[in-house]
Structure 1
Amino acid sequence: MAVLSDDEVDAALSGLNGWKRADGALRRSIDFPEFLAGIDAVRRVAEHAEREDHHPDIDIRWRTVTFALVTHSEGGITDRDVAMARDIDRIVG
Protein backbone atom coordinates (compact mmCIF):
# COMPACT_ATOMS: atom_id res chain seq x y z
CA MET A 1 0.00 0.00 0.00
CA ALA A 2 1.52 3.28 -1.11
CA VAL A 3 1.42 6.61 0.65
CA LEU A 4 -0.57 9.10 -1.43
CA SER A 5 1.16 12.09 -2.96
CA ASP A 6 0.14 15.60 -1.90
CA ASP A 7 -1.78 15.98 -5.17
CA GLU A 8 -3.63 12.70 -4.59
CA VAL A 9 -4.55 13.73 -1.04
CA ASP A 10 -5.75 17.14 -2.29
CA ALA A 11 -7.89 15.44 -4.94
CA ALA A 12 -9.38 13.10 -2.34
CA LEU A 13 -10.12 15.98 0.04
CA SER A 14 -12.26 17.68 -2.59
CA GLY A 15 -14.73 14.79 -2.28
CA LEU A 16 -14.76 14.58 1.52
CA ASN A 17 -17.10 16.50 3.82
CA GLY A 18 -15.21 18.74 6.25
CA TRP A 19 -11.92 16.87 6.17
CA LYS A 20 -8.54 18.57 5.98
CA ARG A 21 -4.92 17.53 6.02
CA ALA A 22 -3.18 18.51 9.25
CA ASP A 23 -0.11 17.13 10.99
CA GLY A 24 0.29 14.41 8.35
CA ALA A 25 -3.22 13.00 8.72
CA LEU A 26 -6.74 13.47 7.44
CA ARG A 27 -8.75 15.21 10.18
CA ARG A 28 -12.37 16.11 10.73
CA SER A 29 -13.94 17.65 13.83
CA ILE A 30 -17.68 17.32 14.33
CA ASP A 31 -19.79 19.20 16.85
CA PHE A 32 -22.69 17.13 18.13
CA PRO A 33 -25.82 18.56 19.79
CA GLU A 34 -25.05 16.74 23.03
CA PHE A 35 -22.27 14.71 24.58
CA LEU A 36 -24.01 11.33 24.28
CA ALA A 37 -24.71 11.88 20.56
CA GLY A 38 -20.96 12.21 20.04
CA ILE A 39 -20.29 9.10 22.10
CA ASP A 40 -22.84 7.16 20.05
CA ALA A 41 -21.16 8.31 16.82
CA VAL A 42 -17.78 7.19 18.17
CA ARG A 43 -19.24 3.78 19.04
CA ARG A 44 -20.64 3.34 15.52
CA VAL A 45 -17.37 4.41 13.90
CA ALA A 46 -15.39 2.14 16.27
CA GLU A 47 -17.52 -0.88 15.38
CA HIS A 48 -16.97 -0.23 11.67
CA ALA A 49 -13.24 0.39 12.18
CA GLU A 50 -12.92 -2.90 14.04
CA ARG A 51 -14.58 -4.77 11.15
CA GLU A 52 -12.26 -3.04 8.66
CA ASP A 53 -9.17 -3.45 10.88
CA HIS A 54 -8.32 0.21 10.26
CA HIS A 55 -8.70 2.43 13.29
CA PRO A 56 -8.86 6.22 13.43
CA ASP A 57 -7.39 8.22 16.25
CA ILE A 58 -10.36 9.72 18.09
CA ASP A 59 -10.36 12.72 20.41
CA ILE A 60 -13.50 13.55 22.40
CA ARG A 61 -13.86 17.03 23.91
CA TRP A 62 -17.35 17.41 25.38
CA ARG A 63 -19.56 17.65 22.27
CA THR A 64 -16.73 17.85 19.72
CA VAL A 65 -15.28 14.65 18.30
CA THR A 66 -12.18 14.74 16.10
CA PHE A 67 -11.27 11.82 13.88
CA ALA A 68 -7.72 11.54 12.50
CA LEU A 69 -6.68 9.04 9.86
CA VAL A 70 -3.16 8.01 8.88
CA THR A 71 -1.77 4.59 8.07
CA HIS A 72 0.98 4.47 10.69
CA SER A 73 2.53 1.30 9.25
CA GLU A 74 3.05 3.10 5.93
CA GLY A 75 4.08 6.43 7.40
CA GLY A 76 1.40 8.55 5.75
CA ILE A 77 -2.04 8.90 4.23
CA THR A 78 -3.14 6.00 2.04
CA ASP A 79 -6.23 4.93 0.12
CA ARG A 80 -7.39 3.11 3.27
CA ASP A 81 -7.53 6.43 5.11
CA VAL A 82 -9.52 8.08 2.33
CA ALA A 83 -11.93 5.13 2.27
CA MET A 84 -12.35 5.28 6.06
CA ALA A 85 -12.99 9.04 5.89
CA ARG A 86 -15.80 8.34 3.41
CA ASP A 87 -17.13 5.63 5.70
CA ILE A 88 -17.06 7.98 8.70
CA ASP A 89 -18.96 10.59 6.68
CA ARG A 90 -21.60 7.98 5.88
CA ILE A 91 -21.82 6.75 9.48
CA VAL A 92 -22.06 10.13 11.21
CA GLY A 93 -23.93 11.94 8.43
Structure 2
Amino acid sequence: MKRLNEYEVEERLEGLAEWRVVDDEIVRVYTLDSFPAALDFVQEVGSIAEHLNHHPRIIIDHKNVTLAATTHDSGGLTSKDFELAEACDAI
Protein backbone atom coordinates (compact mmCIF):
# COMPACT_ATOMS: atom_id res chain seq x y z
CA MET A 1 0.00 0.00 0.00
CA LYS A 2 1.32 3.43 -0.98
CA ARG A 3 2.28 5.76 1.85
CA LEU A 4 0.54 9.13 1.60
CA ASN A 5 2.63 12.28 1.34
CA GLU A 6 2.13 15.25 3.67
CA TYR A 7 -0.20 17.04 1.24
CA GLU A 8 -2.37 13.94 0.79
CA VAL A 9 -2.58 13.45 4.56
CA GLU A 10 -3.66 17.05 5.14
CA GLU A 11 -6.24 16.74 2.36
CA ARG A 12 -7.71 13.56 3.89
CA LEU A 13 -7.74 15.11 7.39
CA GLU A 14 -9.98 17.94 6.16
CA GLY A 15 -12.83 15.44 5.89
CA LEU A 16 -12.34 14.04 9.39
CA ALA A 17 -13.46 16.02 12.41
CA GLU A 18 -11.28 15.78 15.52
CA TRP A 19 -8.59 13.53 14.04
CA ARG A 20 -5.00 14.80 14.14
CA VAL A 21 -1.57 13.55 13.13
CA VAL A 22 0.75 12.50 15.93
CA ASP A 23 4.05 10.77 15.08
CA ASP A 24 2.94 9.20 11.77
CA GLU A 25 -0.43 8.12 13.18
CA ILE A 26 -3.87 9.64 12.97
CA VAL A 27 -5.38 9.91 16.44
CA ARG A 28 -8.78 10.74 17.86
CA VAL A 29 -10.27 10.65 21.34
CA TYR A 30 -13.96 9.75 21.59
CA THR A 31 -15.81 10.60 24.81
CA LEU A 32 -18.75 8.29 25.49
CA ASP A 33 -21.51 8.55 28.09
CA SER A 34 -20.19 5.81 30.37
CA PHE A 35 -17.59 3.09 30.73
CA PRO A 36 -20.02 0.42 29.40
CA ALA A 37 -20.73 2.67 26.39
CA ALA A 38 -16.98 2.97 25.80
CA LEU A 39 -16.66 -0.83 25.87
CA ASP A 40 -19.55 -1.19 23.40
CA PHE A 41 -17.90 1.35 21.10
CA VAL A 42 -14.61 -0.56 21.22
CA GLN A 43 -16.47 -3.78 20.34
CA GLU A 44 -17.88 -2.07 17.24
CA VAL A 45 -14.45 -0.70 16.32
CA GLY A 46 -13.06 -4.21 16.68
CA SER A 47 -15.64 -5.60 14.27
CA ILE A 48 -14.88 -2.90 11.73
CA ALA A 49 -11.14 -3.43 12.12
CA GLU A 50 -11.52 -7.16 11.51
CA HIS A 51 -13.66 -6.53 8.44
CA LEU A 52 -11.10 -4.07 7.03
CA ASN A 53 -8.16 -6.20 8.21
CA HIS A 54 -6.64 -3.02 9.61
CA HIS A 55 -6.35 -2.71 13.38
CA PRO A 56 -5.93 0.51 15.36
CA ARG A 57 -4.19 1.01 18.66
CA ILE A 58 -6.97 1.38 21.24
CA ILE A 59 -6.75 2.92 24.71
CA ILE A 60 -9.76 2.89 27.03
CA ASP A 61 -9.70 5.39 29.90
CA HIS A 62 -13.07 5.27 31.64
CA LYS A 63 -15.41 7.13 29.21
CA ASN A 64 -12.62 8.12 26.80
CA VAL A 65 -11.49 5.89 23.95
CA THR A 66 -8.37 6.86 22.01
CA LEU A 67 -7.89 5.36 18.56
CA ALA A 68 -4.60 5.62 16.69
CA ALA A 69 -4.03 4.26 13.20
CA THR A 70 -1.02 3.86 10.96
CA THR A 71 0.03 1.33 8.35
CA HIS A 72 3.15 -0.31 9.76
CA ASP A 73 3.92 -2.23 6.55
CA SER A 74 4.10 1.07 4.64
CA GLY A 75 5.96 2.98 7.34
CA GLY A 76 3.26 5.63 7.80
CA LEU A 77 -0.19 6.74 6.83
CA THR A 78 -2.08 5.21 3.91
CA SER A 79 -5.64 5.34 2.63
CA LYS A 80 -6.39 2.31 4.85
CA ASP A 81 -5.95 4.47 7.95
CA PHE A 82 -8.42 7.06 6.71
CA GLU A 83 -10.90 4.39 5.65
CA LEU A 84 -10.78 3.00 9.19
CA ALA A 85 -11.18 6.49 10.70
CA GLU A 86 -14.21 7.22 8.53
CA ALA A 87 -15.81 3.91 9.49
CA CYS A 88 -15.21 4.55 13.21
CA ASP A 89 -16.70 8.03 12.95
CA ALA A 90 -19.82 6.50 11.41
CA ILE A 91 -20.52 4.38 14.53
TM-score bucket (shorter structure)? over 0.9
Q: Which runs of 5+ in 2 are unaligned?
A: none
Tell whether 2:54 aligns with 1:57: no
Q: 1:31 aligns to what?
A: 31
Amino acid at match of 1:48: I
Supply the distance in 1 between the matched residues of 2:15 and 2:43 (Cα, whole angstroms): 24
Amino acid at match of 2:28: R
Tell whether 2:41 aligns with 1:41: yes
Tell whether 2:36 aligns with 1:75: no
Q: CA deviation at 1:54?
A: 0.6
Amino acid at match of 1:89: D
What fraction of aligned residue pairs are identical, expressed as a percent? 37
Deviations 1:24-82 (A, max 9, x none): 10000011111110110000010111111111110111111000010011110000001
Structure 1 moving runs of 4+ over 2 Å:
none
Amino acid at match of 2:26: L
Scaled by the length of structure 2, what TM-score is found?
A: 0.96
Amino acid at match of 2:71: T
Scaled by the length of structure 1, what TM-score is found?
A: 0.94
Count of residue correspondences? 91
Where 1:42 maps in the other structure, the secondary structure is: helix
Report the aligned-residue RMSD. Answer: 0.7
Where 2:4 maps in the other structure, the secondary structure is: coil
